[in-house]
Amino acid sequence: GGGPRRCRRLEAEAARAVLGAADTLLFDCDGVLWRGEAAVGGAAAALGRLAAAGKRLCYVTNNSSRTRAAYTEKLRRLGFPPAEPRHVFGSAYCAARYLRQALPLGAAAYVLGSPALAAELEAVGVPHLGPGPAALPGPAPADWAQAPLDPAVRAVLVGFDEHFSYAKLCQALRYLLRGGPDCLLVGTNRDHRLPLEGGTAIPGTGCLVKAVETAAQREAFIVGKPNRYMFDCVASEFDIDPARTIMVGDRLDTDILMGNSCGLTTLLTLTGVTTLDEVKGHQESDCPARQSLVPDYYVDSIADLLPALGD
């Protein structure tokens, strides 16, 4: 209601004021803290100073291919301040948490996803089946439509799945048709592409979610950013005041949109997939949907915060 959003570079006194007013920072990981297996220069030092200043640091990622424990190990390996698994909110964990609450006791999930997604389900006690390769159960469509279905399955969960196949799509559809509205359809995120070093990319989880949604003719509940469910997971674990929380990310349509939707201060880093020209394009638009993608502040890199954090 306050007119067009305006994004400003966060530096000098403004940086000290913004950081000083925050008690919690939520960080996306890839493109913000690291790129692939290499930490962004100065990022570990900046987070170390934030931790030393008493700030709560949490990590929110749409990647469903790593467990929370794997993320804490990567943070340690790359020199970031020590983190406990409870500080990591990946879409695999958030999906498992959602199903634990939404499914009746003993109900199972059919999973299109990684071993990490399966591990997070196991950790919260949700039975599951489906991870790994799958083959069609015969040569003809009649065979595909008659493959056995587990009677305990009451949800289909779609995450990143390198073994995604027509056979899995058939089974997912059959579970959803059998259960109707009582069979949940849940996706970890809608990221359409996963950028790789060198400027290339691979299809993301959103492509797989869309395939299942198209077959089932229904929409999935998405636990990852920009859905506020991921922020609600953080708020259920910690005493979070949105007015004193900063969301730090490199993607406008996930990190920044979630932060803006949840009333957080939003900080964009330019070490990932977004350029300043993209921000300016949204900023100059009269469209409310595009305005919702504009961050409050930007920095070239998390390392730019070091001067404001002192020695």
What residues are annotated to the active site? 28, 30
- How far apart are the C-alpha atoms of 39 and 74, rounded to whole Å? 10
Contact (Cβ atoms closer than 8 angstroms) between residue 35 and residue 86: no
Cis peptide before 139 (omega within 30 of 0): no
User: Rounded to a whole number, what is the distance in angstroms from the first to the last CA of the chain?
Assistant: 39
- One-letter amino acid at 108 equals A
Residue 225 is labelled as binding a ligand: yes
- One-letter amino acid at 123 equals A
Residue 28 is labelled as binding a ligand: yes
Residue 296 is labelled as binding a ligand: no
Q: Which residues contact 24 (CB under 8 A, 6 or more apart)?
A: 55, 56, 57, 58, 238, 240, 241, 244, 245, 246
- How far apart are the C-alpha atoms of 111 and 32, rounded to whole Å? 29
Contact (Cβ atoms closer than 8 angstroms) between residue 82 and residue 76: yes
- How far apart are the C-alpha atoms of 206 and 192, rounded to whole Å? 5
Question: Exposed, middle or buried by CB within 10 Å (0-12, 13-18, 19+), for 152?
Answer: middle
Q: If you ran DSSP here, which 8-state letter would residue 82 be given? A: P
Nearest-5° Cα angle at 207, 279 to 65: 90
Name the residue among 124, 135, 193, 202 with its Cα closest to residue 157: 124
Query: What token pair was written down for 273?
Result: 């997939």
Residue 311 is labelled as binding a ligand: no
Residues in the annotated binding site for substrate: 225
Residues in the annotated binding site for Mg(2+): 28, 30, 250
Residues in the annotated binding site: 28, 30, 225, 250
